[in-house]
Amino acid sequence: MNHPLSGVYGASLTPMTPNGQLALGDVARLLDFLAGRGCHGALLLGTTGEGTSFAPDERRVIFTAALGVREKHPNFHLLAGTGTPSLEETIQLTRLAFDLGFNGVVVLPPYYYRKVSDDGLFAWYDQVIRRAVPSEGHFFGYHFPGVSGVGLSLDLLSRLKEAHPKAFAGIKDSSGDPEHATQLGERFGSDLLVLTGSDRLFSHALQHGAGGCITALANLCSPELRQVWQAFLAGDMPAQERAQAILTAKRQVLDRYPPAPPLLKAAISRLHDFPQWAVRPPLMPLSPELAEQAALEFSQAG
């Protein structure tokens, strides 16, 4: 909890116009919305932000547009999703994020070769950190084996932390596995900043040493996430459990309409007066009927 990047983060959506262009004017607007509803920061171009669907030049303009949030919220933390299967491209994107003034990067493993060894993953991550992370930068691994197909073992995390005790700040744990969350706390304690990617497990993760969260549902439910966070800090378990129950109910809605980006873009438009942002293929938008039904379920959940 003492790490400068602890807290509640939104896994930000990426605004797009109906004709598939980037809606750059809406990027800072969305981040301002998240900041005003309790987020300490946001991750740009993660899974929820459809990061792997955008070319490097597009990522540059999205990252640049995000800086506008600091005009109103100078202390809002910005994290960039920079992981690709290409070592050189990942290094270039990571350098770019830090050059622009981002606080940290969240980096998927190279996800095409799914049976590589820890030695191979260590060599890949080690090069990215050595060649792209400045002395004051914070680097987070991204553990999401259900999507990337490549997990980050506890032993690998330990090797990276030993090799880069300052730069290797922590991990975004999107495994959704409560036992893994427990093991992270037992193995690393406060030495590794764990940001859970699971809304359902936020309370559990905090109780086992996590320092915050980065979640898709924060686009709609950051006040409830912040309530869990504040109640945990205050030692108010009843309040923490109440807020967590609301989060769990709303997450159940999200899980009924996968994948998350089309649903969240439809719901945030209907519930918070944002434009109806498009998604990039292979994702497809929800039908108007499903979008209305999902928005209604969100409003009623919890």
Tell me, yes or no, if 9 is annotated catalytic.
Answer: no
Out of 48, 125, 172, 215, pick the active-site residue: 172
Out of 14, 47, 84, 215, pick the active-site residue: 47
Strand partners, 44: 80
Query: How would you label 213-242 residue by residue, b for 16+ Cβ within 10 Å and e otherwise?
Result: bbbbbbbbbbebbbbbbebbeeeeeeebeb
The H or E element that residue 42 is part of is strand 41-44
Euclidean distance between CA atoms 191 and 229, whole angstroms = 20
Out of 142, 196, 250, 265, pick the active-site residue: 142
Phi, psi of 118 (to 5 degrees): -60, -35
- DSSP sequence for 199-239: STTHHHHHHTT--EEEETTHHHHHHHHHHHHHHHHHT-HHH
Out of 64, 72, 112, 113, pick the active-site residue: 112
Q: Which residue is it, tokens 């109806």?
A: 276
Token digits of residue 302: 């919890």
The H or E element that residue 17 is part of is none
The H or E element that residue 138 is part of is strand 138-143
Token digits of residue 128: 């990215």
Tell me, yes or no, if 47 is annotated catalytic.
Answer: yes
The H or E element that residue 59 is part of is helix 56-66
Euclidean distance between CA atoms 196 and 229, whole angstroms = 12
Do 140 and 107 touch, CB atoms closer than 8 A?
A: yes
Euclidean distance between CA atoms 207 and 204, whole angstroms = 5
Euclidean distance between CA atoms 222 and 9, whole angstroms = 8
Tell me, yes or no, if 112 is annotated catalytic.
Answer: yes
Q: Which residue is it, tokens 């309790």?
A: 38
- Residues acting as catalytic residues: 47, 112, 142, 172
